[in-house]
Chain A
């Protein structure tokens, strides 16, 4: 549905987007992560044909972005960075205006759509307010409502939750989750829990290049250089430590936070949990807790996008 092939964009000497490729199938919600200035917004502008690419090729819904920009944009809802809105319009006027520009010329049909997006974006309370008077949370919802007024197949949202408080972030997240069933969505953000909560897949970009692409769980697996298992066993401390060290594959055993807990390290990809279980049963030591450590998206993000 959203296809990028070697997309490249240079501004003078600086390469903002450097041979970026990905393919997002229909119905997937993809989080597009990267530090500020990594090339997220530029990539989105290339996909929406706002900027022409220097190299490479982009397709939305099977249509070339450069050859059929109008047909592409008809299928696309785009929320630009910083959510620019016409401040002097009243909320429903703004939506009607967006609808008219989109070609919803039939008054009744447009009114139905406006009503629908007002409802789905929770804007009813603010009907009658000027756009310029809306709070940041409602502005963001209005931006989203305007982007989906024509019920597009594809949504590209540039930082839809920036500047929102945690409650508002949750609301926008729910909104995006509601859309996911029917739409293909690419969201850029640097709020990471956001991505874990809403996205099927994560693409991380740094300095214009894609550095990771996969489900959050896959990325955690790929990234870990060793496997860490947190074990809490009720048994004589030294015996437990020895028994754990004796497991095949265990490379190091360190004492954990509390008296009965240990951290067992092994090679990446190994899973010692079953071994630990069998050993504990043999020795009749109750297992109090057993947890495989996973790298959080934060850690992955930091590791991949740290300045060299």
Chain B
């Protein structure tokens, strides 16, 4: 078994699935072995629960609209807290050297870490389906907009995935997790606020801000409109920051 591995040609440029899976599984597991994931999940469900329940009882509005305005800001806090240690911790403890001298590409390391976070985040957002279920059971199905609700959840899921890539990048900047957290929060906050300020900016600048900001894209999804441009927006954000992370790891070697 060993032998066939030795003679395997160098699969450069191809992801080494086994290692990506191992890293992702380990990342996900280590979340649950520290209080981090529990605290994050608690805060997330507490606030989303309130945002969901308040309009339901106060103005008898059966929708998830209340979530879309505030939850991205909540994610701008929570996601960096979950990603700040992903690489900074490895760099600090020296285990990065172990990872970096394994037969892996930097992309394998980055992708493994990212997918571990992504799995936690998606599980977290999937938990919001509970609210959909509650509405389904309590409200008259005719009054519910299924596309709107699922679009809202998709918007939150994609927002968190984009923030996660930002957080992974800032975590690669150095050994200090606080720096990683603050830097990630700043970038996420700018993405969050950019769309809201777009109307205040003059002409062309406003259009650019509107495209770069989260708001327009999340709004579209929350309306139940699945536009490939919005999906491309999120995919490019994720790819851009993962790419930057890989570049950063490569410069660490010089």
Which residues does A use to contact B, with CB under 8 Å?
Answer: 45, 48-52, 68-71, 73-76, 78, 80-82, 84-89, 97, 100-103, 105-106, 109, 146, 150-151
20 A-B pairs besides A73-B102, A73-B103, A88-B33 with CB distance below 8 A are: A49-B101, A50-B100, A69-B103, A70-B10, A70-B104, A74-B6, A78-B98, A80-B94, A80-B101, A84-B97, A85-B95, A86-B26, A86-B95, A87-B93, A100-B19, A101-B18, A101-B23, A101-B99, A103-B16, A103-B103
Bitwise, B1-34 to A at CB < 8 A (1) or not (0) is: 1100110111110001011011100100010011
B60 within 8 Å of A by Cβ?
no
Partner of A74, one of B33, B93, B103: B103
Contacts of B19 in A (CB 8 A): 100-101, 103
A106 near B93: Cβ-Cβ < 8 Å? no
Residue in A closest to B33 when the chains form the complex, CB atoms: A88
Interface size class of B (residues with CB under 8 A): 20 to 34
Q: How far is the CA of A85 from the CA of B16 in the complex (A)?
A: 22
Given A50-B100, A80-B97, A85-B95, verify A70-B105 contact (CB < 8 Å): yes
Which residues does B use to contact A, with CB under 8 Å?
Answer: 1-2, 5-6, 8-12, 16, 18-19, 21-23, 26, 30, 33-34, 93-105, 253-254
Contacts of A69 in B (CB 8 A): 103
B94 near A100: Cβ-Cβ < 8 Å? no
Q: How far is the CA of A202 from the CA of B191 in the complex (A)?
A: 58
A-B contact pairs, 12 of them (CB 8 A): A48-B101, A50-B100, A50-B101, A52-B253, A70-B10, A70-B11, A73-B103, A80-B101, A101-B102, A103-B103, A106-B1, A150-B2
Contacts of B94 in A (CB 8 A): 80-82, 84
Q: How far is the CA of A35 from the CA of B23 in the complex (A)?
A: 37
Given A48-B101, A52-B254, A80-B101, verify A74-B5 contact (CB < 8 Å): yes
B101 near A78: Cβ-Cβ < 8 Å? yes
Q: How far is the CA of A80 from the CA of B93 in the complex (A)?
A: 12
Given A73-B102, A101-B19, A103-B19, verify A50-B97 contact (CB < 8 Å): yes
